[in-house]
Amino acid sequence: MNAIIIDGKKTSKDIKDELIIKVEELKNKGVEPTLAVVLVGKDPASQVYVKHKKKACEYVGMRSLAYELDEKTTEEALLELINELNDRDDVHGILVQLPLPKHIDEEKILLAIDPSKDVDGFHPYSVGNLSIGRDGFVSCTPAGIIELIKRYNIEIEGKNCVVIGRSNIVGKPVSMLLLKENGTVTICHSRTKNIKEICKNADILVVAIGRANFVTKDFVKEGATVIDVGMNRLDNGKLCGDVKYDECSAIAGAITPVPGGVGPMTIAMLMSNCVKSANNMLK
């Protein structure tokens, strides 16, 4: 069997194209959706992601405000900037690029962002809303995974969904979202016993463990949907997922590649959250 390749690059472009119209409508109502992007330090990967976020804002017609702060910026100075952005009526989304330098307490920073502008969906208020099925901001990678599954008409309701990984930014929220869609959800992690057997029973397998090529063909049920969230940089500089793509795509029914699968969806969903936030301001 040759799996359908779930194209995150194309889907993210489709979403951004749809957002162009929504941004235009907001502008016609007198609201210019604005995202504040905060980067502390010079982590090369973070610099690239921030650049892509600014480009995505431009593409959908949204304003972005860039705050590129020195590596040595203090926690107090960063909190002060966030408070300023919280108070500004013309800022609809605030994003602090992660990871932050070690001397800054990430949790304290995320907690300082006004939940009504939490377009990353990392604030405990947003996480709480998600866990009780209330509407709110959902973190972008998990939201992107569900969007991909839906746009490829893959049914979640009643299916066995197995998530490998229990991180706060992917594993836990994507499990909540699959549950919200009426999937039967199992979360596996480093202490799980019989992980292969559990995965082999999955109709939808989401892999977010951060270990290159961890999932081999003997984890995958014939015809299953395999979503690879891994982004592992190899010594040769190549990007590699958590799933052994060649052998698993011969068994799966549908599969995301790395790169070009889940990754690009993260930024598309960020744009979507910003538009949602700007819309909320109209209410």
- List residues forming the annotated binding site: 165-167
Residue 259 engages ligand LMY7XDAE in binding (rule: CB under 6 A): yes
Concerning whether 53 is annotated as a catalytic residue, the answer is: yes
Please give the C-alpha separations between residue 38 and each of 26, 46, 220, 231, 258, in angstroms, as whole numbers.
24, 10, 40, 22, 27
Per-residue contact flags (x/-) with ligand LMY7XDAE for residues 102 to 131, judged by CB under 6 A: ------------------x-----------
User: Residue 120 catalytic?
Assistant: yes
* Closer residue to ligand LMY7XDAE (CB): 23 or 270: 270
- Select the residue interacting with ligand LMY7XDAE from 263, 272, 273, 274 (CB under 6 A): 263
Q: Which is nearer to ligand LMY7XDAE, 154 or 239 (CB)?
A: 239
Q: Which residues pair with 69 in a beta bridge?
A: 40
Binding mask 194-213 for ligand LMY7XDAE (x = CB under 6 A): --------------------
The one segment of 71-79, 202-210, 218-226, 260-268 that binds ligand LMY7XDAE by CB under 6 A: 260-268
Q: How far is the CB of 244 from ligand LMY7XDAE (least distance, A)?
A: 17
The pairing of strands 34-40 and 93-96 is parallel
Query: Shortest gap between Cβ of 134 and ligand LMY7XDAE (angstroms)?
Result: 21
Figure out which of the listed residues 56, 229, 267, 274 binds ligand LMY7XDAE, where binding follows CB under 6 A: 267
Which one of the listed residues 22, 97, 159, 242 is annotated catalytic?
A: 97
Q: Which residue is nearest to ligand LMY7XDAE (CB)?
A: 263
Q: Pick from 62, 100, 127, 140: which binds ligand LMY7XDAE (CB under 6 A)?
A: 140
Respond yes or no: is residue 97 known to be catalytic.
yes
Which one of the listed residues 22, 53, 172, 221 is annotated catalytic? 53
Nearer to ligand LMY7XDAE, 137 or 221 (CB): 137
Distance CA 116, CA 92 (A): 8
- Residues that bind ligand LMY7XDAE in the complex, under the rule CB under 6 A: 49, 95-98, 120, 140-141, 231, 239, 258-260, 263-264, 266-267
